[in-house]
């Protein structure tokens, strides 16, 4: 049913008595923002994703519940936990959503592969980057798998939390999360009673965060994900095994390192191991270049950049460098990166590649605020993987719809019309929430 409200044309989404969302012609089409054609396209895209996710389930009821769970993550529900999602879906209790994460038989690894394939289908770019980083999930208790007092970058201090290590894919058309691993601290790995209570399989042993990163990167390579560079912060850049592994596979990387990381190079005509800070201090002023690290919220992000060639056993066409970034107005603020890449790579290219690591931070922010990445209330290890994977799939849907909606302003501009600003993940999520949240207002039973 159509309703006109003020300057908006509302196409009402109805919640059927069976508990399923039926979108027939259901959206909120804001004048000048989303047209009827976009309404049909969005519904079609989500229906196709539901169908692909449904192939992971043998029985119809959990297949249906998984689709509802995914739509619930995309809805305007404030917190996407079991109780609030159940209320949103019309259930008196959250047992259906809880069973989906805990007892129903389905393969969360296959869902991860589906998410990765879906992202690559939409965002594939030979110049894309893989970005590895971790994020914390604050917890109050002690029984959730992997929870411990440990440093959380999310909180900026040591907190009682779980740590998830993630892999993001970022190309010219957008970015999304494509893989995840739950970090299991040593005290958990060595405690049989806690492992059993949290459903941690015997074969799951302690692994460092860089080791988890290597596994995810290996899966991406095995799946033939197209990318040009691997990026990561100091946790991963300081892991020499990760660097050597990527070098041996001839996979270029720009990985942040600490100032005291020792590297082989030449200083004062003497070859040896020197700290990144010492090598940077010896760079002459004329060697620094003011270059952009890419566009930010306030325009191009300019820094001073320099690089120092490192002495490794590299063979053409590859080379190694220490890359240094200096703040233009605060010269004592330096960032360091170890680089492996084609020998003919320009400094300007390295600056832009290093600047692309922000994409995973936006993925975390949008995923936590918009699709409930951190809103789970389940203790088991496989429950964590299931919720996180479905939230990643919801984020991937937003990224896919952003690509489709970006085409409309581009087409309008090409035809001589004044184009609309390109949509971001936040605006895409807002439109999705508006549509789904209208469901409860004008339900019409069948």
pLDDT for 416 equals 52
Each residue's pLDDT tens digit, 335-366: 999 999 999 999 999 999 999 999 999 999 99
Residue 369 lies in a domain: no
Residue 151 lies in a domain: no
Residue 288 lies in a domain: yes
330 shares a domain with 389: no
Question: What are the Cα distances from residue 178, in Å, to 111, 163, 216, 389?
Answer: 10, 17, 9, 9
How many domains in the chain?
2
Residue 124 lies in a domain: no
Q: Are 381 and 198 in contact (CB under 8 A)?
A: yes
92 shares a domain with 28: yes
Q: Residue 81 corresponds to which tokens in the numbers above?
A: 């936990």
Residue span of the structural domain in which 338 resides = 228-360
Write down the pTM of the prediction: 0.87
Closest CA to 181 of 159, 205, 156: 205
Instruction: Among 360, 395, 427, identify where a domain stops.
Output: 360
Residue 82 lies in a domain: yes
- Alpha-carbon gap, residue 3 to 317, rounded angstroms: 63
436 shares a domain with 327: no
353 shares a domain with 273: yes
Each residue's pLDDT tens digit, 160-204: 999 999 999 999 999 999 999 999 999 999 999 999 999 999 999
pLDDT for 442 equals 39
244 shares a domain with 346: yes
405 shares a domain with 346: no
Q: Are strands 129-138 and 157-171 parallel, antiparallel or unpaired?
A: antiparallel
Residue 24 lies in a domain: yes
Residue 170 lies in a domain: no
The residue-averaged pLDDT of 307-336 equals 93
- Alpha-carbon gap, residue 28 to 42, rounded angstroms: 11
pLDDT for 428 equals 67
Residue 204 lies in a domain: no
Each residue's pLDDT tens digit, 54-94: 999 999 999 999 999 999 999 888 889 888 888 888 887 88
pLDDT for 421 equals 62
On the question of pLDDT at 18 being above 80, the answer is no
Each residue's pLDDT tens digit, 367-406: 999 999 999 999 999 999 999 999 999 999 999 988 988 7
400 shares a domain with 295: no
Instruction: Among 360, 395, 410, identify where a domain stops.
Output: 360
Q: Are strands 157-171 and 174-182 parallel, antiparallel or unpaired?
A: antiparallel
- Alpha-carbon gap, residue 253 to 154, rounded angstroms: 25
Confidence of residue 26 (pLDDT cuts 50, 70, 90): very low
pLDDT for 10 equals 31
232 shares a domain with 356: yes
Phi, psi at residue 331, to the nearest 5°?
A: -65, -15
411 shares a domain with 299: no
Q: Are 371 and 391 in contact (CB under 8 A)?
A: yes
433 shares a domain with 388: yes
353 shares a domain with 235: yes
Beta carbons within 8 Å of 193's beta carbon, 6+ residues apart: none
256 shares a domain with 351: yes
For the chain, give the percent of residues with pLDDT over 90. Answer: 69
As a whole number of Å, the CA-based R_g of the chain is 24
Q: Residue 245 corresponds to which tokens in the numbers above?
A: 């592994």
């Amino acid at each position: 049913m159509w309703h006109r409200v003020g300057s908006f044309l509302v196409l009402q989404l109805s919640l059927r008595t069976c508990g399923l969302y039926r979108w027939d012609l259901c959206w909120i089409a804001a004048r000048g923002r989303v047209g009827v054609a976009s309404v049909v396209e969005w519904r079609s895209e989500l229906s196709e994703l539901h169908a692909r996710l449904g192939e992971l389930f043998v029985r119809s009821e959990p297949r249906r519940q998984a689709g509802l769970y995914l739509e619930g993550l995309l809805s305007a529900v404030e917190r996407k936990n079991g109780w609030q999602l159940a209320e949103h879906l019309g259930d008196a209790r959250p047992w259906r959503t809880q069973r989906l994460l805990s007892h129903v038989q389905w393969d969360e690894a296959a869902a991860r592969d589906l998410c990765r394939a879906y992202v690559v289908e939409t965002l594939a770019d030979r110049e894309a980057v893989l970005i590895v980083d971790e994020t914390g999930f604050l917890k109050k208790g002690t029984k959730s798998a992997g929870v411990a007092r440990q440093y959380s970058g999310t909180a900026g201090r040591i907190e009682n939390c779980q740590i998830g290590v993630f892999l993001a894919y970022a190309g010219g058309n957008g970015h999304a999360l494509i893989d995840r691993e739950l970090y299991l601290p040593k005290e958990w790995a060595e405690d049989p009673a806690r492992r059993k209570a949290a459903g941690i399989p015997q074969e799951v042993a302690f692994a460092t965060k860089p080791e988890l990163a290597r596994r995810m990167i290996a899966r991406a390579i095995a799946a033939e994900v197209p990318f040009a560079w691997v990026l990561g912060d100091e946790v991963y850049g300081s892991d020499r095994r990760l660097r050597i592994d990527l070098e041996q596979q001839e996979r270029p990387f720009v990985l942040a390192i600490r100032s005291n990381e020792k590297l082989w190079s030449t200083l004062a005509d003497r070859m040896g191991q020197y700290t990144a800070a010492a090598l940077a201090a010896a760079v002459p002023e004329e060697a620094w270049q003011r270059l952009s690290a890419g566009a930010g919220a306030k325009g191009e992000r300019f820094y001073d950049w320099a690089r120092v060639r490192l002495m490794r056993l590299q063979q053409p066409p590859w080379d190694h460098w220490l890359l240094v970034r200096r703040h233009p107005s605060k010269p004592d603020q330096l960032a360091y990166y170890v680089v492996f890449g084609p020998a003919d790579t320009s400094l300007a290219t390295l600056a832009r590649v290093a600047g692309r690591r922000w994409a995973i931070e936006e993925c975390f922010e949008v995923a936590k605020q918009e699709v409930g990445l951190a809103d789970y209330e389940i203790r088991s290890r496989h429950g964590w993987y299931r919720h996180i994977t479905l939230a990643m799939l919801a984020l991937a849907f937003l990224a896919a719809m952003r690509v489709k909606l970006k085409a409309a302003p581009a087409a309008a501009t090409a035809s001589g019309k004044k184009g609309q600003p390109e949509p971001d993940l936040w605006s895409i999520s807002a439109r999705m929430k508006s549509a789904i949240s209208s469901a409860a207002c004008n339900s019409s039973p069948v």
